[in-house]
Amino acid sequence: MSPGIYLSMDKDSMDVNQELTKLKTKIQETREKILAMPEIESSPGEQQEQLKTMREKVDTKTQLLQKYKGLCVFDSPKS
């Protein structure tokens, strides 16, 4: 092999190492973002239970809004 091939291989190796370092940094940043997400420590079952509770609250509030909407008659000013 000629000396030029070794220089090329060393340069390629350095480029690969730089790209690997960048990739490792991105992976670590992504892990940190995932761990910072709210409710990440809750199990899927707990999350499903929370979702069910929230949906029930929305349904109750929607029913109340419909009830009050039907009871309250607002007179709009006539021109």
Q: Which three-class secondary structure state does DSSP give residue 47?
A: helix
CB 50 within 8 A of CB 42: yes
7: its two tokens: 């220089």
The pLDDT value recorded for residue 10 is 66
Q: Is residue 26 part of a domain?
A: yes
User: Is 5 found in the same domain as 26?
Assistant: yes
Q: Is residue 49 part of a domain?
A: yes
| Domain carrying residue 9 | 1-37
What sign results for the dihedral spanned by CA atoms 6, 10, 15, 17?
A: positive
For the chain, how many structural domains are there in total? 2
User: Is 53 found in the same domain as 33?
Assistant: no
User: Is 28 found in the same domain as 4?
Assistant: yes
User: Is 17 found in the same domain as 46?
Assistant: no
The pLDDT value recorded for residue 40 is 76
27: its two tokens: 């992976």
Q: Is residue 77 part of a domain?
A: no
In the chain, count H helices and then E strands.
2, 0
Average pLDDT by stretches of 10, the chain with 79 residues: 56 82 96 85 88 97 88 62
Query: Model pTM?
Result: 0.45
The pLDDT value recorded for residue 78 is 61
